[in-house]
C-alpha cells in the first residue's frame, strides 16, 4: 500500500509539472508584454549605470573638474547666480508627470476611458515641459558659454593665486578649488593671467586653461540619452492616448494593460533622472 501511495504521489507531481510547463500561463502572474518591458528596463538600467559610473570615476580623478554650482547657475529671464535652481524646477516637473502617470494607470484599472486619456495627455505635457527646460539648458551652455563635446570652458583652480589686470596691477584673489569660466569672443579663447601666491611655485605666472574635455562630452551624452528616452515616452504616450480615445482598449477588458506598460517605462525614466541629478548636478 505504501508503495502504491508513493507511485501515486509521484504521478501527481509529474502531472503538475507538465501542467506548469504546458504554456498559456503568464510567468510570475505577469503578461508577456509586461515581462518583456521589465527585461528592456533592466537592460537599459545597465546602460545608464555604465554612463554614471564612468562619470563618477572621472569626476573623482580629475582635480580641475568643474563645480556644478558654478556651471548650472542660469535661470530663464537672464538671471544668474542661482545654483541648481533651474534643474530643480526640471526635476519637479518630471516628478509631477510621474504622479499623473499613476492617475492614468488607476483610471485604466477602473476602465474609465476619459480619465485615462486625460491623465495620459497631462503626463505627455509634463514630458514636453521637461524637454523644453532641457533645450534651454543646452542652448545656454552651447550658445552663450561655448561648451561643446570637444571644448569645456569650465574649470577649477588647483592653486591659490591673484589675477593680473591688463595694466599689470593685481586684481581679484582666489583659492584652490574655486571655479572659473574661460571666455570666448570672435572664435578666440581669452585666458586670464594670474600669479601663484602659495606653495612651491609661489610667485610664478600662469594662465587659466580649458577644463577637462570629458565633462562636456559626458554631460551631453548622458543628459541627451535620457532626453531621448523622455522624447520617446512622450511619443508613446500620445499614441496610446489616441488609441484609448478611439476605444481600442475598451474591448480588451484587461484594465488598460498598455497604459500600465507605458507607466512602467515612464517611472523608470523618472527614476533614472534622480540618479542623473544626484551624480551630475550634486556630486
Q: What is the CATH number of domain 30-150+213-282?
A: 1.20.120.80
Q: What are phi and psi of 163, to 5 degrees?
A: -70, 145
pLDDT of residue 44: 94
Cell of 136: 534651454
The pTM of the full predicted model, rounded to 2 decimals, is 0.85
Query: At residue 23, does pLDDT exceed 60?
Result: no
List the chain domain ranges.
30-150+213-282, 154-207
Alpha carbon 135 to its chain's center: 14
Q: What value does the mean pLDDT of the chain take?
A: 88
**Cell matching residue 3:** 508503495
* Per-residue pLDDT reduced to its tens digit, 237-279: 999 999 999 888 887 777 688 999 999 999 999 999 999 999 8
pLDDT digit string, tens, across residues 92-122: 999 999 999 999 999 998 989 999 999 999 9
| Residues linked to residue 18 through DSSP beta bridges, in sequence order | none
Chain mean position to CA 89: 14
Q: Phi-psi region for residue 261, left (φ > 0), alpha (ψ -120 to 50) or beta?
A: alpha
Q: Residue 113 class from Cβ within 10 Å (0-12 exposed, 13-18 middle, 19+ buried)?
A: middle
pLDDT tens-digit map of 139-185: 999 999 999 999 999 999 999 999 999 888 999 999 999 999 999 88
Query: What is the per-residue pLDDT for 187?
Result: 83
Distance (Å, whole) CA 101 – CA 112 = 14
Amino acid at each position: 500500500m505504501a508503495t502504491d501511495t508513493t507511485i501515486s504521489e509521484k504521478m501527481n507531481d509529474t502531472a503538475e509539472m507538465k501542467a506548469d510547463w504546458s504554456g498559456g500561463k503568464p510567468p510570475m502572474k505577469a503578461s508577456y508584454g509586461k515581462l518583456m518591458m521589465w527585461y528592456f528596463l533592466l537592460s537599459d538600467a545597465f546602460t545608464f549605470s555604465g554612463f554614471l559610473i564612468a562619470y563618477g570615476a572621472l569626476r573623482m580623478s580629475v582635480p580641475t573638474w568643474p563645480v556644478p554650482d558654478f556651471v548650472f547657475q542660469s535661470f530663464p529671464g537672464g538671471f544668474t547666480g542661482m545654483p541648481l535652481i533651474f534643474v530643480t524646477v526640471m526635476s519637479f516637473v518630471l516628478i509631477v508627470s510621474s504622479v499623473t502617470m499613476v492617475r492614468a494607470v488607476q483610471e485604466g484599472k477602473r476602465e474609465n476611458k476619459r480619465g485615462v486619456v486625460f491623465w495620459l495627455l497631462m503626463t505627455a505635457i509634463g514630458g514636453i515641459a521637461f524637454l523644453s527646460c532641457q533645450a534651454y539648458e543646452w542652448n545656454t551652455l552651447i550658445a552663450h558659454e561655448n561648451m561643446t563635446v570637444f571644448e569645456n570652458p569650465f574649470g577649477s583652480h588647483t592653486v591659490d593665486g591673484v589675477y593680473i589686470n591688463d595694466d599689470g596691477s593685481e586684481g581679484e584673489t582666489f583659492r584652490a578649488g574655486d571655479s572659473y569660466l574661460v571666455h570666448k569672443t570672435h572664435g578666440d579663447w581669452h585666458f586670464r593671467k594670474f600669479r601663484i601666491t602659495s606653495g612651491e611655485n609661489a610667485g610664478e605666472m600662469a594662465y587659466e586653461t580649458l577644463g577637462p574635455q570629458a565633462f562636456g562630452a559626458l554631460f551631453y551624452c548622458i543628459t541627451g540619452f535620457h532626453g531621448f528616452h523622455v522624447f520617446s515616452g512622450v511619443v508613446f504616450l500620445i499614441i496610446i492616448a489616441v488609441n484609448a480615445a478611439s476605444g481600442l482598449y475598451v474591448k480588451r477588458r484587461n484594465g488598460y494593460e498598455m497604459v500600465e506598460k507605458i507607466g512602467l517605462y515612464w517611472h523608470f525614466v523618472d527614476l533614472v533622472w534622480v540618479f542623473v541629478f544626484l551624480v551630475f548636478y550634486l556630486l
